[in-house]
Amino acid sequence: MYLEVPDQDLTQGDIIDGIHLLGAIKLGAIQVTNNQQGEAVSWTIPAKPKLGQVMVLSHSCEIAKENNIKLTSIILAPIRGADTATSKDKLAELISSNILTENTEASYLKYFYIEPHEKLSCSKDEYGGVVDFSKVFSVHKSALQSLEQNKTLQLQSHVASAMALKCALYYHREAA
């Protein structure tokens, strides 16, 4: 699933370590500070920051250095520990239907399963993790270099492609 030696450049499907996880922010918890003129000048969230691993969802072409003009922000999704799945049977089903084919009838489109690896922080009990497409967030393009420096793992290209296809289908699925 992973390249033995990751590239230095950032590509779609890369796993980055030590990122401030910002997905699923509680909008009601945001505290806005106003200046003397009553204009909102800053905001804070009274919650302990969570650092963790994320997967890059941005298309490789968009974050390629030679295409700098296209880069406005970098889309990331948090990785959750598969060991916390409340049903191990469902997790097994998720894993078996993870890579979609033309013959797949049902799958867990919200999640892309990633195999355990010594560099994957959520690999407790060899369960691996899941990328959660419903909790994506983006960071400013100025973070590109630091994301590259914190790159930990890289998916093989066919796996990265399967992940992107599943992500596309999660947003394009037919309504139930």
Q: Is 22 in the site for other proteins (CB under 8 A)?
A: no
User: What is the identity of the amino acid at 115?
Assistant: E
- C-alpha–C-alpha distance, residues 144 and 74, integer Å: 8
Q: Which residues contact 102 (CB under 8 A, 6 or more apart)?
A: none
Site residues for other proteins, 132-171, by CB under 8 A, read 132, 135, 139-146, 150, 165, 168-170
d(CA 106, CA 126): 25
Query: For residues 60 and 14, is the Cβ–Cβ distance under 8 A?
Result: no
Contact flag: residue 32 with other proteins (CB under 8 A)? no
Q: Count CB atoms within 10 A of the CB of residue 32.
A: 9
Rounded to a whole number of angstroms, the minimum distance from the CB of residue 20 to other proteins is 7
Over the window 68 to 107, marking each residue x when it contacts other proteins by CB under 8 A and - when it does not, the resulting string is -xx-x-----x-xxx-xxxx--xx-xx-----x-x-xxxx
Q: How far apart are CA 29 and CA 21, in angstroms?
A: 16
**Minimum distance of other proteins from residue 62's CB (angstroms):** 9
Chain residues 106-125 in contact with other proteins, contact rule CB under 8 A: 106-111
Are the C-beta atoms of 11 and 1 separated by less than 8 Å?
Answer: no
CB 11 to other proteins: min, Å: 16
The residue ranges that bind other proteins (CB under 8 A) are 18-20, 23-24, 49-50, 61, 69-70, 72, 78, 80-82, 84-87, 90-91, 93-94, 100, 102, 104-111, 130, 132, 135, 139-146, 150, 165, 168-170, 172-174, 176
